[in-house]
C-alpha cells in the first residue's frame, strides 16, 4: 500500500483541524465544556468521564490530542521531505501556535475555578483566534504543497474557488444568527462554523491563486471577503452580547463579504484564462 503524499497528509490535517473546531463549538454550545468538574486534563476526578456531558468534553479533548500529534507529524514530514521552505514554515507556524491553543483551551474550562478569569469572553476569544490561525496556517501549507501538482490552470482554480465561496457564504448566512431559518443550537452552530471555515478556506485559495492570473488586481477584493468571514466567525461565537446592533454589524459583514466575492467572481467569469508566474 502506497504511503500518502505530503499533499494528502496536509489536506487531511487541515480537514481534521476544521472538524475539531466544529466539535469544540458543539461541545461548548451543549454546556459540556464545564462538565469535567472544572478539571483539566483530568475529567470527573480521573482519566475517564462519568457522565454523558463530560464524555462530550472528554471526547473533544481526545480528538484535540490526536489532532495535535497529527500536526507534529505534518511538520516533521515537511522538513524531512522535499517540500518548499514556505510549505514547511506554514506548517511550523501551526505547530508554534498549538501550545497556546491548548493552554487557553485548558483555561476556558476552569469556570472561575483554578483561574479566576478562566471562563470569560477574552479567553474564549483567544481560544477561537488561535484555532482559526492554526487552521489558516494549515490551509496555506496545503495550498503551497500542491503548487505544480494541479491539473487545472490558476485561472480556472480561482474561478472555482470564488464560485464555491459565493455559495458557501450564502449557506453560512442562512445558518447564522442574522436569520432565524435554522435554530442556533449546538447542531446549528456546528453547521455555521463548518460552512464558514469552508468559505474562508476557498477565499484563502483565491487569494493565493489570483496573482498567477490576469486578475491579480482583484486580489484585494478576495482579501476583504476573507477578512469579513473571519469577523463573522468571531461574532457567531457569543464573543459579544448579541444585541440588535451586533446583528446589524453581522449582517453588514455578510453583505461586504458576499459583495466583494461577487465582484471578483464576476470579473473572473468574464476574464481570460492566461496564467502568469507569481512569487506568492
221-230 pLDDT, tens digit each: 999 999 999 9
**Greater pLDDT, 94 or 183:** 94
Is residue 280's pLDDT more than 50?
no
Give the number of other CB atoms < 10 A from CB of residue 119. Answer: 18
How many Cα atoms are found within 13 Å in the side-chain-facing hemisphere of 12? 14
The b-or-e profile of 185-194 (16+ CB within 10 A means b, else e) is: ebebbbbbbb
Q: Residues of the chain with pLDDT > 70: what percent? A: 90
pLDDT for res 277:
46
Q: State pLDDT tens for residues 47-77.
A: 778 777 788 888 988 999 999 999 999 999 9
Mean pLDDT (the chain, rounded): 87
Report the alpha-carbon distance of residue 21 to residue 28 in Å, rounded. 11
Q: Is 55 exposed, middle or buried (0-12, 13-18, 19+ CB in 10 A)?
A: middle
Q: Which domains does the chain have, with CATH numbers?
A: 1-149 (no CATH), 151-273 (1.20.120.660)
Q: State pLDDT tens for residues 243-260.
A: 888 889 999 999 999 999
Amino acid at each position: 500500500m502506497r504511503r500518502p503524499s505530503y499533499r494528502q497528509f496536509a489536506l487531511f490535517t487541515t480537514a481534521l483541524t476544521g472538524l475539531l473546531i466544529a466539535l469544540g463549538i458543539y461541545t461548548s454550545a451543549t454546556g459540556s465544556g464545564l462538565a469535567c468538574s472544572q478539571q483539566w486534563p483530568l475529567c470527573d476526578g480521573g482519566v475517564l468521564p462519568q457522565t454523558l456531558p463530560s464524555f462530550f468534553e472528554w471526547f473533544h479533548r481526545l480528538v484535540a490530542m490526536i489532532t495535535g500529534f497529527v500536526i507534529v507529524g505534518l511538520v516533521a514530514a515537511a522538513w524531512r521531505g522535499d517540500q518548499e521552505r514556505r510549505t514547511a514554515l506554514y506548517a511550523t507556524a501551526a505547530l508554534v501556535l498549538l501550545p497556546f491553543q491548548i493552554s487557553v483551551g485548558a483555561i476556558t474550562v476552569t469556570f472561575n475555578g483554578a483561574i479566576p478569569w478562566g471562563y470569560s469572553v477574552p479567553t474564549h476569544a483567544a481560544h477561537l483566534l488561535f484555532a482559526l490561525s492554526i487552521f489558516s496556517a494549515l490551509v496555506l501549507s496545503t495550498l503551497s504543497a500542491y503548487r505544480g501538482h494541479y491539473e487545472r490552470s490558476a485561472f480556472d482554480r480561482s474561478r472555482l474557488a470564488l464560485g464555491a465561496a459565493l455559495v458557501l457564504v450564502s449557506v453560512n448566512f442562512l445558518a447564522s444568527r442574522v436569520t432565524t431559518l435554522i435554530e442556533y443550537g449546538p447542531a446549528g452552530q456546528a453547521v455555521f462554523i463548518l460552512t464558514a471555515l469552508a468559505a474562508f478556506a476557498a477565499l484563502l485559495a483565491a487569494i493565493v491563486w489570483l496573482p498567477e492570473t490576469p486578475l491579480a488586481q482583484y486580489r484585494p477584493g478576495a482579501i476583504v471577503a476573507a477578512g469579513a468571514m473571519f469577523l463573522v466567525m468571531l461574532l457567531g461565537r457569543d464573543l459579544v452580547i448579541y444585541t440588535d446592533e451586533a446583528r446589524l454589524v453581522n449582517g453588514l459583514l455578510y453583505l461586504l463579504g458576499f459583495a466583494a466575492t461577487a465582484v471578483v467572481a464576476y470579473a473572473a467569469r468574464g476574464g481570460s484564462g492566461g496564467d502568469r508566474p507569481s512569487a506568492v
